[in-house]
Amino acid sequence: MSAGAAARIGFVGLGQIGGPVSRRLLAAGHPMCVFDLRQKASLALVQAGATRAASAAEVAASSDIVFVSLPTPQAVEQVATGPDGLLVDPACRVYIDLSTTGPTVARRVEHACLQRNIAVVDAPVSGGVAGASAGTLAIMAACERRLFDEITPLLSTLGRPFHVGTKIGQGQMMKLVNNLLAGTALAITAEAFAIGAKGGLDPAIMLKVINASSGRNDATVNKFPRSVLDRSFAYGFATGLMHKDIELCLLEAKKMGVPTYVASAVRQVWLHTETQFGAASDFTNIVRCVERWSDAAPDDIR
């Protein structure tokens, strides 16, 4: 197995992250075999030279390195260990999971992979659709150092890889902590803007002042300018996924006995947002959820 230019790449899950990531790998010259339950999702890749497999098992049977990018822990486990999964008759020797599953599922999949002599890289990503398309994702990789060094050129096609630990699950923990912070920042920024708007402030002026002040955060720098002020609510990350990530983070915190007073309140706001707007809605709709409660701003669906 080699992670060099001749490595045969398999990719399962061609959604909002997996689609652009797999296109970058294909454009870098790697022979590629892809699979997604939605045949339409693989069409552009096939037209660009990839081979479409009929199952995850077929991907693993024809690849040296298999990437997975799936929305839920259940989907990841099914693709890895299910009856048509990657471990049926694999030729691959490296499994790289870009999904956010939480440490428990990551370790179960690792155990199953090791039975087939497949090395595992726990490598969730951050940066959204824009980062996946531009090749600027933060990649939080946990695996043996030797393996990380070997696959770094491959991962660098996708963004900036960080080696966060040698134990599977540490990449997941890093991603959950990051998304807890990101979800909290967006939730509290939504409340702060509702307070300001209700008090008569212009949101555009608020944004300029906050971004020049100590309240500046990723929500004010990126999410509000790109998807909230223009009322598009189309940043590119699902409400249900953010709620899922925070739930997973709090589950791990509970196991370790870490108090989560603030995080528990944040989880509740994300639950309300998912209930109001649906799991598939863009997560910037949390702003509209807070607006509804506070009657802070006009909203065309209220």
The neighbouring-strand residues paired with 68 are: 12, 97
The CA-atom distances, in angstroms, between 228 and each of 84, 156, 276 are: 42, 31, 17
Exposed/middle/buried for 298, CB within 10 Å: 0-12, 13-18, 19+?
A: exposed
Tell me the average pLDDT of the chain: 94
Q: Which amino acid is at 185?
A: A
How many other C-beta atoms can be found within 10 angstroms of the C-beta atom of residue 224?
Answer: 26
Q: Calculate the alpha carbon distances from 143 to 114, 118, 148, 257, 283 in Å.
A: 13, 12, 6, 26, 31
pTM above 0.85, yes or no: yes
pLDDT band at 194 (very low <50, low <70, confident <90, very high): very high
Question: For residue 123, what are the CA distances in angstroms to 30, 106, 161, 235?
Answer: 19, 10, 9, 23
The region that residue 231 occupies, defined by phi over 0 for left and psi between -120 and 50 for alpha, beta otherwise, is left
Catalytic-role residue among 167, 175, 208, 223: 175
User: What confidence tens digit (pLDDT) does each residue in 208-247 have?
Assistant: 999 999 999 999 999 999 999 999 999 989 999 999 999 9
The residue with tokens 């260990």 is: 81
Q: Could you give all domains of the chain from N- to C-terminal order, each with its CATH number?
A: 9-167 (3.40.50.720), 173-294 (1.10.1040.10)
Q: Is the pLDDT assigned to residue 113 strictly greater than 90?
A: yes
Q: Is 175 considered catalytic here? A: yes
Q: How far apart are CA 273 and CA 288, in angstroms?
A: 9
- Please, are residues 131 and 159 in contact by the beta-carbon 8 Å criterion? yes
Asked whether residue 4 carries a pLDDT value surpassing 60, the answer given is no
Q: How is 245-267 classified by DSSP, letter by letter?
A: HHHHHHHHHHHHT---HHHHHHH
pLDDT of residue 298: 56
Kindly report the backbone phi and psi dihedral angles of residue 70, in degrees, each rounded to the nearest multiple of 5, phi listed first.
-130, 155
The span from the CA of 232 to the CA of 229, in Å, is: 8
Q: Within 13 A of 144's CA, how many CA atoms are on the CB side?
A: 9
**Phi/psi at 167 (nearest 5 deg)?**
-105, 130
- Please state, for a pLDDT cut of 70, what percent of the chain lies above it: 96
179 close to 267: Cβ distance less than 8 angstroms: no
Q: Sorting pLDDT into bands at 50, 70 and 90, what band is 44?
A: confident
Return the sign of the alpha-carbon dihedral for residues 141, 143, 145, 148: negative
